[in-house]
Copies of this chain bind each other. A is one copy, B any other.
Amino acid sequence: MSIVRTNTPRADRAAVDRLANFGVATVHEAQGRTGLLAPGMRPIYAGARIAGTAVTVSLPPCDNWMIHVAVEQCREGDVLVVAPTSYSDAGYFGELLGCSLQARGVRGLVIDAGVRDVRDLTAMAFPVWSKVISAQGTVKATLGSVNVPVVCAGALVHPGDVIVADDDGVCVVPRSRAMKVAEASAAREAKEAKSRARLKAGELGLDIYDMRETLARLGLEYRDGSAED
């Protein structure tokens, strides 16, 4: 059964844009260390940093037909999330599809498979997170579904969830929690800013985070190693 769900609700735009200010590591921590895609998902070029709402695609391995179907469901501010139903490292997506998505205001692509034309995609600043770069083409023969829940690189993604992606990888934030996670991310950053200043000044984490006593209680021993030779 192949379906395309249209007009699916998106996470609140203000929350999404706020999340775009934070790195993946911060967001991941802020929502209790959930939602991270497998670390094999790498950006095709360094420096991209996005947040957007997921349009999801579940498709057969080595068949990119449903990506064409999904383009129509994309709006400004979306991120396309593509998950084949079986492992594949073929190149499902290239520069032409990138032009099409960019024309609709899509902010990037996350694909648990391969991408090609990376030179062109880089030149046009369309960011892609994929597990491989591959020129291997795909067919257009079998249906899949758009805007159904998918497991992408080990993480569950629902349509409308927020995708945050940067040089560290990709994280998904459930639609209903977007604003809360944005706030928690901001709180975390504020706290880290204070630690950062102290660490740069030479203070130790051992002292800032008050670790010495617990370490000693658990039995950590210090021994002079200077005599060794």
Q: Give chain A's interface residues, CB within 8 Å of chain B.
A: 1-9, 23-25, 28-29, 32-34, 36, 38-39, 42, 45-47, 49, 60-63, 65, 68-69, 71-72, 85-91, 94-97, 99-100, 102-104, 114, 116-120, 122, 132-137, 139-143, 147, 149, 151, 154-156, 159, 166-169, 171, 192, 195-196, 199-202, 204-206, 209, 211, 215, 218-226, 228-229
Contacts and interface: CB of A to CB of B under 8 A. Distances in A.
Contacts of A96: 192, 195-196, 199, 205
B39 A114 contact: yes
Number of copies: 6
A71 B33 contact: no
Contacts of A133: 39, 42, 167-169
A42 to B, nearest CB: 7
B168 A116 contact: yes
A5 B223 CA distance: 5
A218 B61 CA distance: 18
Contacts of A137: 25, 28-29, 33
Given A9-B226, A28-B137, A220-B4, A88 B61 contact: yes
A212 to B, nearest CB: 9
A89 B39 contact: yes
